[in-house]
Amino acid sequence: MSRFIDKLKIDYPNITFKLGDGFYWSPISRSVIYNDLENKINSDWTLLHEVSHAILNHKSYKNDLELLSMEVLAWNKAKEISIKYDINIDDDHIQNCLDTYRNWLHLRSTCPECEIRTLQTDKDTYRCHNCHTIWKVTSERFCRPYRKIEDKNKKSLEELSQVTFV
């Protein structure tokens, strides 16, 4: 794992790799955060996935469907670059990860009143075309807030709402 991260650091000098509490891509700081303690067999796959978000320059998304399509693109890219590292990303793993997003999307887009599947009106709002119920969703599941460090100014508040990709 640590040797693989060293290869990535050399191959992608424009990306900052930071040890953190999980695996994600932070577009604002152009950093891939990784967790070395997570000794899972698929750590390398996840790392390739986050690097792919970086290569594809994923910054933000307009709605949940766009986020899902970015996830698909990131996995496609991960498959592509995995060849040169002689890593074989399991397709079932990819489908499981994407299913997590699909289920999440399904839950968010289903009307709480009449259980009809609806379309998103904006990033945090859904509106049912059948019963006209409107409900808010948060991006919390896929948007990890920056950890509050020592500064208490406005900037840290802005940073709290930055988008990251997992």
Map residues 129-158 to x or -, x wherever contact with Zn ion holds by CB under 5 A: -xx-x-------------------------
The piece of 5-13, 40-48, 66-74, 83-91 that touches Zn ion (CB under 5 A) is 66-74
User: Which residues between 3 and 22 bind Zn ion (CB under 5 A)?
Assistant: none
Compute the least distance from the CB of residue 124 to Zn ion, in Å. Answer: 18
Compute the least distance from the CB of residue 47 to Zn ion, in Å. Answer: 11
Q: Which is nearer to Zn ion, 47 or 111 (CB)?
A: 111
User: Which residues between 72 and 111 bind Zn ion (CB under 5 A)?
Assistant: 74, 111
Indicate whether 113 belongs to the interface with Zn ion (CB under 5 A). yes
Q: Which is nearer to Zn ion, 135 or 156 (CB)?
A: 135
Nearest to 30 by CA among 59, 1, 61: 59
Footprint of Zn ion (CB under 5 A)? 71, 74, 111, 113-114, 128, 130-131, 133, 165
